[in-house]
Copies of this chain bind each other. A is one copy, B any other.
Amino acid sequence: MQTTTYTVTGMTCDHCVGAVSGELRRLDGVRDVRVDLATSAVTVTSEGPLDDRAVRAAVDEAGYAVAG
């Protein structure tokens, strides 16, 4: 297991948190997603290394963006 933390911009409310979490949970190997709305931090727990492009695509699909 490993955890990776991303900064996701544009999230303003719990619906946004749900949308981002929902898309990320669908990725292969993802076991848990935690979002701190106050800091825009999204922490993903996965079985192995995450495909950065897949993470960015999932966040984009939800309507948000990974910073950096």
Contact = CB atoms under 8 A, between A and B. Distances in A.
A16 interface: yes
A19 interface: yes
Copies in the complex: 2
Interface residues of A, number: 8
A16 B14 CA distance: 9
Contacts of A15: 13, 15-16, 18-19
Nearest to A10: B13
Interface of A: 12-16, 18-19, 63
10 contacts: A12-B12, A12-B13, A13-B13, A13-B15, A13-B16, A14-B63, A15-B15, A15-B16, A15-B18, A15-B19
